[in-house]
Amino acid sequence: MRVAWRRARADLWPLLVTVLVVALTVGLTDAVPRLLTSRSDAAVRDAVERADPPADLVVTSTYGAGMSNPESGEAETRAGVDDAAVRIQQAMPRSLRPLLGPPAADATSIDLTLSTPKVPSGGVLWMTYLWAGGEPAVRWTSGAAPGPGADGTVRLGLSGAVARVLGVGAGDRFEAKKPDHTVVPVLVTGVFEPQDPHDRVWAARPEVLEPRIVGPDGAPTTVVAGLLSAASLPPARAALEPDGVTRTFRFPVDARALDYAGSRAIVQKLAALESSPDRLNAPGPEPRLTTRLGDVLTQARQRVSATWSQAMVVLAGLAGAAVLVLLVSADLLARRRSTALRTLRARGRSLTDIAARSAAESAVVVGAGAAVGLALGAAAARGPVTWPWVVVVVVAGVLAPPAFATVTAARSEARRVPTDRHRRRMAQRVRTVRRLSVEAALVVLALAALAALRHRGVVSLSGPADLALAAAPVLVAAAGALLLWRAVPPLLGGALRVARRSRRAGGLLALARARSTGAVLPFVALVVVTTLVALCGALAGTARAGQTDGSWDSVGADALVRTPTPSSTLPDVAARLAAARGVDAVAVGRVQARANLFDAPGVDTVRVLAVDPRAYGELLARTRFGAAPQLATLAGASREAATRTEPGPLPALVPTSLVGAHPSLRWAGVTVDLAPVGPAPALPAQQPDGSSAAPTVVVDRTALAAVARAVAAARAAQTGVTLVGPESPVADPDTIWAVGPGAAAAARAVAPTGADVVGRAQWLADRRADPLAGGLLALVALVALVCAGLAAVVVVLDAAATAPDRARSLATARVLGLRGRDAARVATGELLPPTLVAAVGGVLLGVLLVGAIVAPLALRLVTGQAGDPGVVLPWWAVVPVALLTATVVAVVAVESSARRRERLGQVLRVR
Amino acid sequence: MSAEPVDAAAAGARPGSAAREPGAAVQVRGVHRTFGRGRSAVHALRGVDLDVSPGELVALVGRSGSGKTTLLNLVGGLDRPDQGTVLVDGVDVAALGDDEQAELRRDRVAFVFQTFGLMPVLTAAENVGIPLRLRVAPVAERERRVELLLDLVGLAPHALQRPDELSGGQQQRVAIARALAGSPRLLVADEPTGQLDTETGLSVMALIRGVVEAEGMTALVATHDPLMIALADRAVRLVDGRLVGDA
């Protein structure tokens, strides 16, 4: 015991390095999966909470034609709506019940057109019965709640706001028309105010409380809803025969009850329910279950799964790097103890005994490191230990020292290079064949893992069997390191040839030692950890740059204002926005996400951007898309078309594949011939909702309106049918883009009511605050930091392993007349070249690796882009090169300092 | 070499010591060297005086621990005395700075060690050429000299072999060739035959004797070997750090 302790104390710092490496790796590989689990749950809940429209479960059912009885009274309403909601809730699968809040139900009419004093035309009326555990609580300001009536008149109540818009009051009558123009007489029995306008009962039909105006400015439509009571619903149903009322049972989803682990089963259960809604005991002939919950959960699961897999790739890399560092550390220990080990062996100690003693020591050391790591991991995130990578690191840490000790002890001290040239060559060939076999096997394994990863993608990684797949990058790094290692001797050999021809000693001494003393294990370890730093750097850089690109692709400017319908007032809004402080450029336009295109090979649907080309060009020039001279060309070509009264081709910028074609665009009910004048410039590639934009056609908005009207007029002259009148808003804008530091704030200030304002900075901030993306980037940065530290540790360990020979060699050179400072240069020249080759090679490997796996890693799910992001290497990914150079310089300085304390005459004495 | 020759007497020659020999290649006067402190201090040299004439081969004899190697280290500028002076070609070695000592070793003194002290990563020829590289000698001159010296020590066919491909005797021959490469004035050899068998040791001794005569250099050789002592011009004995006279 005392001997073991003395031996450990003599090699304290390599053992402490082992403890540190094990603790850091175990801590990270243990804690990160638990942290990810918690972030995954948060991500799933966040996705459901943010779902727009909501991810509620909605059961709809009709009553069936001829199933109404105007005199059935409120009992039938209770049974058909209120009680049905409760029955459906009770019929919900047990696994879904905890997720679902109390149901809300409504029975709502089809769209009816109405005519009242204030809305003689252009009004849409819904008659609706609402229930959410009870009918809505209201205060009747005039009249009373609607009651039964068998005279064919539908009785309903109106909210004060709706009554004012329609210009009716309690006791007034007006007519509503069904789609078949059948008249339904309506009696307003009372006007009410809601006791709680935020009560969930109103959520199903908010138009009961607040009229909604839709459609273009020139022809708005007023949508309102009237409130039926349980008693007035049966006569309403009778008036709306056949089957003019639909029941909707809405079950809100409580996101807090969701977690990632259970979401898969929920998705499967929802799919089963959607295909067989009969299980829900819903009333009516053909009940249907619809919900976005399945899609929302599937998308969230996909992102979580991708993030997990990305994290697993990073953790696998970290574990692999740690294992390599532990091997290097074990090698150093065995070298430092080589004399003692050989002495033990010479005195008859068995190899098993030597291995057991070494294993006992390493078990204590690695156990201590693992305990510290697990404690750190538990402090970071509570939960059961995540074993896979922890086991890998601990097993490698425990087994490596006895393995190296055994091999060292087994080697004969008298082992020499055979003097016989033939035997020397044979031994060399055997070593070469053995090495080539190992290298070839590793290269094949790495390529197979990489090919599998590229083929399957990380999103499909699901279980422990895929851990090997997650280790593909580290395997590729190791294989690349071996190949690079093969390149080092020729490189050093070339430099050595030059040094041999020189007059000086320094280069020869340094390079001869570098070439002869380099060991493959530290080199591979150094390349792998450097590759991982570059890989993490490139992942982080690519993700962040991709997020920025994604913000431009989604928003298209610093601020985006969209109105639900085209509005002729937007140019005025744009003018106010342009005058605001901090706004550099503004463009207004019409964006049609999908429009049909004819006579266009390979393209049948396009996105149409109808803009003022000059203004939009000036705006684009201030974005990352850059200047677009094609827009100036379009502006020039469209000048004549903007004043055209006769049909003719419309100048357009089209997808590159369509330049030279003669496509036609379907627009506002007419077909417009396009005259391509050039390719469309680089444009935002995504719709604001994140979906990928179709190929884009850019036209002059004024010219589009003129040409469409001219075509419509010509057609009207032929057919007598007027589709587009001279005042029709065929190309009214619905979008304003603005750039400038104050664009977002100014857009919010001037945006019309109901318009959607999106700020690019906010979009980016939201994306970066995402728990998954943020967590992944934090992990990547942390692992990069740890790997950079590991790289420095490898350099120190490698230098320590060769330090005695180097000291002896330099002492000899100093005895021969080499000056002290020149000795430091020789030491630097010995250590630095392989280190730099490893560092630079590792960085290049990391970048190549990211290029190869950026698609299968599904980084687009992190960046929010429609396509895979381009690889970006941040400046700090090359820090390892500087760090390792600095480490070498520090090691040489420490060694030089130690040499100064050493008496030169003693170095060459018999040992 | 920036250090100027000094007058040995003025530099601390001890009154009553052996008569100063004008023009001596090596003059050691009153040298003390102690390693460690307090009770664990080891007094390696206790007032040693020694003169070695130019071209003389002096064998330094004594038991292990008698101070032979310490004295050689001081003479070769590998160590500094605690007290006394060491003059090599009239230059006070102890007064030199580290760089100047390195220049002394590079230009005037050569060493042969019991452990050979060869660079295992260099070939025999490269090892021999190191002193010339340290002097930044022209490449052609260096190559010519290396070839000549390897031929002199009988190792021309082994020029491209590394030390671990050579026998002990061959390695020591390479070390001697390297020592001669810079045409030193003084050869310091610390038990050069200590790790060699008798026959090989004999040939190495003969080689040292031969080159000392051929090159006209001074040699100070620490040895236990009676044959080496016999080959020397003079042998001096060290006992417990004191020079006790000719052996």
Interval A63-121: pLDDT, tens: 888 877 777 888 888 888 899 999 999 999 998 889 999 999 999 999 999 888 888 77
Reply yes or no on whether the pLDDT at A446 is more than 80: yes
Interface of chain B toward chain A, CB-CB under 8 angstroms? 69-70, 72-73, 76, 78-79, 98-99, 102-103, 105-107, 111, 113-115, 117-122, 126, 130-131, 133-139, 142, 162, 164-165, 178, 182, 190, 194-195
Reply yes or no on whether the pLDDT at A777 is more than 80: yes
Q: pTM of the full predicted structure? A: 0.79
Sign of the torsion angle spanned by Cα atoms A169, A170, A171, A176:
positive
pLDDT of amino acid A417: 61
Indicate the residue among A203, A237, A256 that finishes a domain.
Answer: A256
Backbone angles phi, psi at A199, to 5 degrees: -60, 140
Identify whether residues A240 and A305 lie together within a single domain: no
Identify whether residues A70 and A44 lie together within a single domain: no
Identify whether residues A222 and A315 lie together within a single domain: no
Identify whether residues A70 and A29 lie together within a single domain: no
Q: Identify the band that residue B5 occupies on the pLDDT scale cut at 50, 70 and 90.
A: very low
pLDDT of amino acid B81: 92
What is the nearest CA distance from A369 to chain B, expressed in angstroms?
38
Burial class (CB in 10 A: 0-12, 13-18, 19+), A772: buried
Is position A825 within any domain?
no
On chain A, the residues whose CB falls within 8 A of the CB of B135 are 817
Number of domains in chain A: 3
B101: which 2 tokens? 């000592």
- The owner of tokens 């929802």 is A270
Mean pLDDT over A299-319 rounds to 86
On chain B, the residues whose CB falls within 8 A of the CB of A904 are 73, 78-79
Query: Is A503 an 8 Å CB contact of chain B?
Result: yes
What is the nearest CA distance from A898 to chain B, expressed in angstroms?
15
Q: Which of A415, A515, A815 to mutate to test the interface with B (most CBs of B within 10 A)?
A: A815
CB contact under 8 A, B107 and A515: no
The answer to whether the beta carbons of residues A789 and B99 sit under 8 Å apart is no
Which chain B residue has its CA at the smallest distance from A814's CA? B102
Identify whether residues A173 and A216 lie together within a single domain: yes
Of A419, A508, A815, the CB nearest to B126: A508
CB contact under 8 A, B102 and A509: no
Mean pLDDT over A718-735 rounds to 69
User: Nearest-CA neighbor of A574 among A559, A552, A554, A591?
Assistant: A559
CB contact under 8 A, B119 and A419: no
The answer to whether the beta carbons of residues A155 and A147 sit under 8 Å apart is yes
> What is the C-alpha radius of gyration for chain A, rounded to an integer number of angstroms?
38
Identify whether residues A597 and A736 lie together within a single domain: yes
CB contact under 8 A, A515 and B121: yes
What is the nearest CA distance from A815 to chain B, expressed in angstroms?
7
Identify whether residues A251 and A115 lie together within a single domain: yes
The answer to whether the beta carbons of residues A478 and A524 sit under 8 Å apart is yes
Which chain A residue has its CA at the smallest distance from B195's CA? A910
CB contact under 8 A, A815 and B78: yes
Identify whether residues A368 and A337 lie together within a single domain: yes
- Supply the DSSP symbol for A100: B
pLDDT of amino acid B71: 93
On chain B, the residues whose CB falls within 8 A of the CB of A903 are 73, 78-79
Is position A224 within any domain?
yes
Indicate the residue among A360, A382, A415 that finishes a domain.
Answer: A415
Is position A783 within any domain?
no
Is position A596 within any domain?
yes
Which chain B residue has its CA at the smallest distance from A516's CA? B121
What residues are paired with A664 via a beta bridge?
Answer: A598, A673
d(C-alpha A645, C-alpha A641), whole Å = 9
CB contact under 8 A, A508 and B122: yes
Q: In a 3-state reduction of DSSP, which class is residue A133?
A: coil
Is position A742 within any domain?
yes
Q: Identify the band that residue A727 occupies on the pLDDT scale cut at 50, 70 and 90.
A: low
Higher pLDDT, A525 or A465: A525
On chain A, the residues whose CB falls within 8 A of the CB of B118 are 812
Is position A884 within any domain?
no
What is the nearest CA distance from A428 to chain B, expressed in angstroms?
14
Q: Give the number of other CB atoms < 10 A from CB of residue A739.
A: 21
Reply yes or no on whether the pLDDT at A525 is more than 90: yes
Identify whether residues A229 and A103 lie together within a single domain: yes
Which chain B residue has its CA at the smallest distance from A414's CA? B164
Minimum mean pLDDT among A503-507, A521-525, B112-116: which range? B112-116
Cβ within 8 Å of residue A226, ≥6 positions away: A125, A126, A127, A128, A156, A157, A158, A162, A186, A188, A208
Cβ within 8 Å of residue A882, ≥6 positions away: none
**C-alpha dihedral, A38 to A42 to A45 to A49, nearest 10°:** 170
Domain range for residue A317?
Answer: 1-55+299-415
Indicate the residue among A256, A282, A310 that finishes a domain.
Answer: A256
What is the nearest CA distance from B195 to chain A, expressed in angstroms?
9
Of B98, B117, B120, the CB nearest to A815: B117
d(C-alpha A333, C-alpha B8), whole Å = 51
What is the nearest CA distance from B207 to chain A, expressed in angstroms?
20
pLDDT of amino acid B22: 55
Identify whether residues A40 and A127 lie together within a single domain: no
Residue type, B235: A
> Measured in Å, how far apart are chain B's first and last C-alpha atoms?
35
Identify whether residues A582 and A699 lie together within a single domain: yes
What is the nearest CA distance from A847 to chain B, expressed in angstroms?
36
pLDDT of amino acid A876: 82
Q: What is the 3-state secondary structure (H, E, C) of A686-723?
A: ECCCCCECCCEEEEEHHHHHHHHHHHHHHHHHHHCCCC
Is position A490 within any domain?
no
Cβ within 8 Å of residue A690, ≥6 positions away: A554, A864, A866
On chain B, the residues whose CB falls within 8 A of the CB of A416 are 164
Query: Is A817 an 8 Å CB contact of chain B?
Result: yes
Is position A826 within any domain?
no
Can you say how many angstroms the Cα of residue A35 is from the centroid of all Cα atoms in its chain?
Answer: 17
Q: Identify the band that residue A516 occupies on the pLDDT scale cut at 50, 70 and 90.
A: confident
pLDDT of amino acid A865: 76
pLDDT of amino acid A286: 83
CB contact under 8 A, A904 and B130: no
Reply yes or no on whether the pLDDT at A232 is more than 80: yes
Mean pLDDT over A169-180 rounds to 90
Query: Is A427 an 8 Å CB contact of chain B?
Result: no
Cβ within 8 Å of residue A77, ≥6 positions away: A107, A129, A230, A231, A233, A234
Identify whether residues A36 and A180 lie together within a single domain: no
Cβ–Cβ pairs < 8 A, chains A and B: 105
Q: Identify the band that residue A622 occupies on the pLDDT scale cut at 50, 70 and 90.
A: very high
Query: Is A6 an 8 Å CB contact of chain B?
Result: no
pLDDT of amino acid A9: 76
CB contact under 8 A, A817 and B106: yes
Query: Is A347 an 8 Å CB contact of chain B?
Result: no
pLDDT digits (tens, 9 = 90+) for A831-856: 999 999 999 999 999 988 888 888 88
Query: What is the secondary structure of A576-609 as a DSSP string?
Result: HHHHSTT--EEEEEEEEEEEEEES-TT--EEEEE
d(C-alpha A366, C-alpha A380), whole Å = 21
